[in-house]
Amino acid sequence: MFDTALTANDLIFLAKGAGMTLIVTGISVLLGTILGILFGVFRYQVGPWWAAPLTFVLDIFRSIPLLIQLVLANAFVTTVLGFRISGFTVACGVLSLYTSAYCAEIVRGGIESVPTTLRRAARSLGMTWGQDMRSIVLPLATRVALPSWIGLALGVMKDSALVFIVQVVELLKSTQILITRLQEPLFLLMICGLFYFVISFPVARLGGYLERRWSND
């Protein structure tokens, strides 16, 4: 009854695409989070007036569609600057900045959620700014920011499907290649969706687990 031309070889091909999705997502979320923490702390520390230029740049990354960012960044780097770098590098760079723009907001919100009175109490006990940030703000803010951060990571994983435009063959592009060859779009898209689910679900569950674990003390 059910007949398909899909072979084990093609499944390996899809798995390779899924691997590429994971690598691009992993690098982007890691770099994006590091940058996001730096940007978020900076924005909170210096206040809205001095952070305005940075806020403006981050707003650009948040408000222009990722697809356009990728195409423009690729064109800028390869034709204007004349560097011959791989699409993979461009994809990771753009996606990292894109992630950092969202992450900066999450971090800023997390820091703001820590009561000012608590932080003043810490400083009046003789803690330095660094000690205050590490021992008071970090544990409290992380709890608040974690759910949004998990949401961001999952969102970036799905947004990474757009990096095909700079010739990175990730999961969705691999699926499209197979669709062109085998002409079974619905079946292949279902398999592709299943792959995305398999890689997203553990991350979502890990988030849920951490939330529960950290909330009962």
Partner 1 sequence: MRTSILAAWAVAATAVALPAQADKLDDIIASGTLRCAVVLDFPPMGSRDAQNNPIGFDVDYCSDLAAALGVTAEVVETTFPERIPALMSGSVDVAVASTSDTLERAKTVGFTIPYYSFENAVVANEKVEMSNWEGMKGKVVGATAGTYEAIWLEGKVKEWGEGEFRPYQNQADVFLALSQGQLDATVSTVEVAEANVKSGNFPGIKIVDKAPMVPDYVALITLREEYGLINYMNLFINQQVRTGRYAELYKKWVGEGEPADLTVKGVYR
Binding residues for partner 1, rule: CB under 8 A, are 7, 9-10, 13, 71, 74-75, 78-79, 82, 84, 87, 166-167, 174, 177-178, 180-181
Pick the closer one to partner 1 by CB: 134 or 181.
Answer: 181
CB of 124 to partner 1, least distance (A): 57
CA distance 97 to 22: 17
Pick the closer one to partner 1 by CB: 12 or 46.
Answer: 12
Q: Which of 14, 11, 23 is nearest to 88 (CA)?
A: 23
CB of 171 to partner 1, least distance (A): 14
CA distance 158 to 39: 24
CB of 25 to partner 1, least distance (A): 22
CA distance 176 to 66: 20
Q: Which of 189, 167, 196 is nearest to 6 (CA)?
A: 189
Angle at 102 between CA 16 and CA 89, to 5 degrees: 40
The answer to whether 167 and 90 have CB atoms below 8 angstroms apart is: no
CB of 28 to partner 1, least distance (A): 20
Pick the closer one to partner 1 by CB: 111 or 166.
Answer: 166
Pick the closer one to partner 1 by CB: 70 or 157.
Answer: 70
Pick the closer one to partner 1 by CB: 131 or 167.
Answer: 167
Q: Buried (b) or exposed (e) across 43-56, using 16+ Cβ within 10 A?
A: bbeeeeeebeeebe
CB of 9 to partner 1, least distance (A): 6
Helix, strand, or coil (residue 170)? coil
